[in-house]
């Protein structure tokens, strides 16, 4: 379930288990077998995330580039390991720990120049760069004449945002998704980036997207909220806004659904 917080969290957790360790690599499903053989038995030098991309750097000087897409999933387990799924594209394991990857959009072994090419297509990463990414975000937003709801899905604008975050972040900042990106006032753009950084960092730590503020969460601690109580707009069309009770609206931008509260996020 992949937005940017998932990849950074995976990089952090996988590093604990595999960083600086010599690992076994295979491809039960078969489609990564040739590449798996090349790095099998070598050392994982580091595991990095940028936006929705993850890079497993090996002592061979190459890196496995993974993009989870819509369906990709990592599963970590401790010895004794479960039977690997027949769909496991990649299996990485030591004596104690195993990582299983299924359903990725991309899983390929690349050399550094190829990795550079992947990175060059990405805008500022809110988790990796924090507020240092603000200037690049401002520039990207001000150049686009498209609705901001669409701009936020462009990985060159902000690397790591997906369909849950775009609706939720626009709610948190009171911005209507159909507002032209380049017409947003500067202070709103700043506030938007600050909100993006906070939300993604928080989701990276908890492993969950919880955007609702303590004031709106009522008596329940935010960590105890069910998934359908943690968000303001995502998948809540036809239900009352958690702030004002107005019915949440939905439509499609680029064939992806987007949700907003017409009262809390008025059209300009």
Partner DNA sequence: GTGTCATGCGTAT
Partner DNA sequence: TACGCCTGACACG
Structure tokens at 33: 């077998």
Check binding of 195 to DNA (CB under 7 A). Answer: no
Check binding of 33 to DNA (CB under 7 A). Answer: no
Check binding of 155 to DNA (CB under 7 A). Answer: yes
Check binding of 6 to DNA (CB under 7 A). Answer: yes
Check binding of 103 to DNA (CB under 7 A). Answer: yes
CB atoms within 10 A of CB 31: 14
# binding residues, DNA (CB under 7 A): 33
DSSP string, 65-88: EEE-TTT-EEEEEESSPPPPPTTE
- The answer to whether 233 touches 260, Cβ cutoff 8 Å, is yes
23 three-state secondary structure: coil
Part in contact with DNA (CB under 7 A); list of ranges 17-25, 38-46, 67-75, 180-188: 67-75
Question: Count of alpha carbons within 13 Å of 16, Cβ hemisphere only?
Answer: 8
Part in contact with DNA (CB under 7 A); list of ranges 42-50, 168-176, 216-224, 254-262: 254-262
Among 126, 133, 149, 162, binds DNA (CB under 7 A): 162
Catalytic machinery residues: 2-3, 52, 256
- If the CB atoms of residues 21 and 51 are measured against DNA, the closer one turns out to be 51
Check binding of 111 to DNA (CB under 7 A). Answer: no
How near is the Cβ of 12 to DNA at its closest, in Å? 17
- If the CB atoms of residues 164 and 197 are measured against DNA, the closer one turns out to be 164
User: 95-123 b/e with 16+ CB inside 10 Å = b?
Assistant: eebbbbbbbbebbebbeeeebeebeeebb
Among 37, 59, 105, 132, binds DNA (CB under 7 A): 105
Give me the helix-helix angle, 186-206 and 163-172, nearest 10°. Answer: 130
CA-to-CA dists, residue 130 to 71, 109, 194, 215, angstroms: 27, 29, 8, 25
Among 37, 246, 257, 263, binds DNA (CB under 7 A): 257
Backbone angles phi, psi at 158, to 5 degrees: -150, 125
Among 70, 111, 180, 244, binds DNA (CB under 7 A): 70
Using CB under 7 A, list all residues that contact DNA.
1-3, 6, 29, 51-52, 67, 69-73, 85, 87, 89, 102-103, 105, 121, 153, 155, 161-164, 209, 227, 235, 254-257
């Amino acid at each position: 379930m992949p937005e940017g917080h998932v990849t950074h969290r995976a990089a952090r957790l996988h590093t604990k288990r595999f960083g600086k360790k010599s690992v076994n690599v295979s491809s039960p499903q078969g489609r990564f077998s040739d590449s798996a053989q090349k790095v099998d038995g070598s050392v994982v030098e580091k595991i990095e995330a940028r936006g929705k991309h993850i890079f497993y750097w090996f002592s061979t000087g190459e890196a496995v580039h993974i993009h989870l897409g819509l369906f990709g999933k990592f599963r970590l387990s401790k010895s004794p390991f479960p039977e690997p799924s027949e769909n496991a594209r990649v299996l990485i394991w030591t004596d104690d720990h195993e990582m299983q990857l299924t359903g990725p959009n991309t899983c390929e072994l690349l050399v550094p120049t190829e990795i550079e090419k992947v990175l060059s297509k990405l805008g500022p990463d809110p988790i990796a760069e924090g507020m240092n990414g603000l200037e690049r975000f401002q520039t990207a937003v001000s150049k686009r004449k498209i609705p901001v709801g669409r701009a936020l899905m462009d990985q060159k604008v902000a690397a790591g945002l997906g369909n849950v975050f775009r609706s939720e972040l626009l709610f948190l900042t009171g911005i209507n998704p159909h507002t032209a990106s380049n017409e947003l006032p500067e202070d709103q753009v700043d506030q938007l980036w600050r909100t993006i950084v906070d939300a993604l960092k928080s989701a990276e730590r908890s492993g969950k997207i919880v955007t609702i503020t303590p004031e709106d969460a009522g008596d329940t601690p935010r960590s105890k909220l069910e998934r359908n109580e943690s968000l303001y707009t995502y998948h809540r069309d036809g239900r009352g806004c958690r702030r004002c009770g107005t019915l949440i609206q939905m439509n499609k931008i680029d064939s992806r659904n987007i949700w907003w509260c017409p009262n809390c996020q008025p059209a300009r």
